Homo-oligomer: A and B are copies of this chain.
Amino acid sequence: MTHLLKRYHPPGTAPGTLKAVSTNDATPLRIRLIDYSKDEINTLNGIDAAACAPYLGNDNITWVHVEGHPSEAVMLELGKLFKLHPLALEDVLNSGQRPKIEPFDDQLFVVMSMPMIANEQVKVHQVSFFLSEKFLISFCEGDSPVFNEVIKRLRNDGSRLRSRGSDFLLYSLLDVVIDHGFPALENLGLQLEAIEEQVLTAPDESSLETIHTVKRELIMLRHMLWPQREVINKLLRDDHALIHDDTLIYLCDCYDHSIHVLELLELYRDMTSSILEIYLSSISNRMNEVMKVLTIIATIFIPLTFIVGVYGMNFDTTASAWNMPELNWAYGYVAIWSVMLVIVILMVIFFRRRKWF
């Protein structure tokens, strides 16, 4: 659970302090620059921060995409180059932030959480954006090429992306981030369906653990995605100069998707609770059944065992006519069996009446 905590400096550290996270994951840092206008497009791969400088002055839109965990030096370089606010730089480095949007002068800083499925498990990566009129810088933890589809569309000469501003590029990337919620939910939905099936037919102890795992992932996802909705809403509502009017209708669509994801999460949580209830009930039903078998066996045989015990007593039948004369009767044994048979039949009738079997 502690991994949900954002990375934090010890209380009292000066605001805007940059300290690179110990990257024990060996994801190499990759910076990619795409400089485009309606008519031309330039792509640079694997460059270092300083290489972005020449593209700053021109009229094209410049998209710098940083993949992996950047070092302090890279952040400082980018910060100086693009005049990024130190508090925002700190938030990019201390990943695990809750999604938020913050305007800094003529820039917009956006932090989002992107759910990714890896080995059947949902992981959440922090994605950060700096939007300005003429450039967009995006940071993405992890190494999966999540924005490749957008790059492909960008390379397509006649595409809508090329003829619009940096805000439409931001929308396209936010759309990718939010739409990653659907496969994550699909994955959880399939797991839930499997558990439901199992709980209704053959519940066992492992079900409980699976339900807990799914519930945990739902709680975690909800925690990460809930503020996302608010971010898009703020983009729509607040009248940012950077977001043009004709992009709003697209952001609306994006907002709709983010609500759809959250409502499904809520629905899945309700379902998980309902499945847990059934699981618990069927466990208690089975206990009931076990108890009934025990009770039926015991209730039938305990009296019979008593009866045969009686005739195992060693009273001296010769001492008097009162001492177990039955033992010497010609049909004593037959009589005892008859008595026991009657008892069994009465018991069975009693159980039938109570609908025990």
A198 to chain B, nearest CB (A): 13
Residue pair A148, B12 in contact (C-beta under 8 Å): yes
Cβ contact within 8 Å between B290 and A290: no
**Nearest CB in chain B: distance from A274 CB, A:** 5
| Interchain nearest-CB distance for A185 vs B (Å) | 6
**Bound-state Cα–Cα, A306 to B104, Å:** 85
One complex includes copies of this chain to the number of 5
State the CA gap A290–B287 with chains docked (Å). Answer: 10
Q: Which residues of B are found within 8 Å of A200, using beta-carbon distances? A: 209, 212
Could you give 23 example pairs across A and B, Cβ below 8 Å?
A4-B264, A5-B186, A6-B260, A11-B182, A102-B252, A205-B282, A216-B274, A223-B263, A223-B267, A287-B287, A290-B292, A290-B356, A291-B295, A301-B302, A304-B306, A306-B308, A312-B313, A319-B328, A322-B333, A322-B334, A323-B330, A323-B331, A324-B333
* A211–B226 alpha-carbon span in the complex (Å): 27
Which segment of A29-37, A67-75, A123-131, A188-196 sits at the interface?
A: A188-196
Convert A269-281 into 0s and 1s, putting 1 for each residue whose CB lies closer than 8 angstroms to a CB of B: 0110010111111
**Cβ of A58 to closest chain B Cβ, rounded Å:** 26
Which single member of B190, B220, B306 contacts A301 (CB below 8 Å)? Answer: B306
Report A293-336 residues with CB < 8 Å from chain B CB.
293-295, 297-299, 301-306, 308-317, 319-320, 322-324, 326-334, 336
**Known A-B contacts A223-B267, A285-B283, A288-B287; A302 and B302 likewise in contact (beta carbons under 8 Å):** yes
**Residue from the list B209, B267, B293, B303 in contact with A299, Cβ < 8 A:** B293
Give the Cβ gap from A183 to chain B, nearest Cβ, in Å: 7
Query: Which residues of B sit under 8 angstroms from A309, Cβ to Cβ?
Result: 305, 308-309, 312
